[in-house]
Amino acid sequence: MIRRICKYGEPVLRRKTKNVRYEKIRDRLPAILQDMWETCGAVNGLGLAANQIGLDLRLAVIEIRKDGVPPRRLVLINPEIKEKSGVVREEEGCLSFPGLFARIKRHEKVTIAFLNEKGFPSEVSGQGLFARALQHEIDHLDGKMFTDRLPMLTRLKLKKVLRKLAPGWAKIDESELAKRTGS
Ligand code: CO
């Protein structure tokens, strides 16, 4: 089921999510993940954090896209950054800020420890866009948004813009997309 994505200004995005106790959500997990993938896919997103659909869970999904190979889907439960190196500044967007893009400083490479969807401890290393997506989603789970990573002055200027955009964003309901496509 496609769910509505929470937008900038909604308090749930500012709260640090609770660590997942795998045994406790095992039965609900397939349905939750199904919703997350459907929602992410409906808006052609690269990743989605559980709190973006209002769930207080340290859980995120990321689609890894590479030229010439089919996309790979990664489920991250309780992800933590273990190693990081390098710094790059690239354009970034967020499903909770529809249509807004900004150049954000991130680590070039990261290694993440997490539980996979079967509950097994796993590790993944990434660079480039994938490393950026990992850091972006982990930030969400910590109650941070990408605009928090901008320099102070840019953030101050952006605040006025966000105040204008937020009421429009609040009205966007992605779950309506299902009705339009008839799925
Ligand atoms: Co985001």
Tell me the pLDDT of the chain averaged across its residues. Answer: 95
Report how far apart, in Å, the C-alpha atoms of 66 and of each of 2, 29, 69, 93, 143 are.
Answer: 25, 27, 6, 19, 29
Which of 16-20, 35-39, 65-69 bottoms out in mean pLDDT, i.e. has the lowest?
65-69
pTM: 0.94
**What's the token pair of residue 129?**
């866009």
123 flagged as catalytic = no
Burial class of 36 by CB neighbour count within 10 A (0 to 12, 13 to 18, 19+): buried
**What's the token pair of residue 134?**
């990992």
Confidence of residue 182 (pLDDT cuts 50, 70, 90): low
Contact present, 94 and 117 (Cβ < 8 Å): no
DSSP 97: S
Alpha-carbon distance of 15 to 30, in angstroms, equals 24
Cα of 75 from ligand 1 centre, angstroms: 16
Contact present, 87 and 132 (Cβ < 8 Å): no
Strand segments, DSSP code E, in the chain are 47-49, 59-66, 69-93, 101-115, 121-127
Going by C-alpha positions, the residue among 127, 78, 137 that lies closest to residue 107 is 127
Cα of 6 from ligand 1 centre, angstroms: 10
Tens of pLDDT, residues 48-82: 999 999 999 999 999 988 888 888 899 999 999 99
Contact present, 8 and 93 (Cβ < 8 Å): no
Question: Considering 63, 92, 117, 137, which one is annotated as catalytic?
Answer: 137
Cα of 127 from ligand 1 centre, angstroms: 18
Burial class of 85 by CB neighbour count within 10 A (0 to 12, 13 to 18, 19+): exposed
Cα of 140 from ligand 1 centre, angstroms: 7
Tens of pLDDT, residues 131-181: 999 999 999 999 999 999 999 999 999 999 999 999 999 999 999 987 765
Going by C-alpha positions, the residue among 52, 73, 70 that lies closest to residue 6 is 52
- Mean pLDDT within 100-129: 97
Residue 183 pLDDT exceeds 80: no
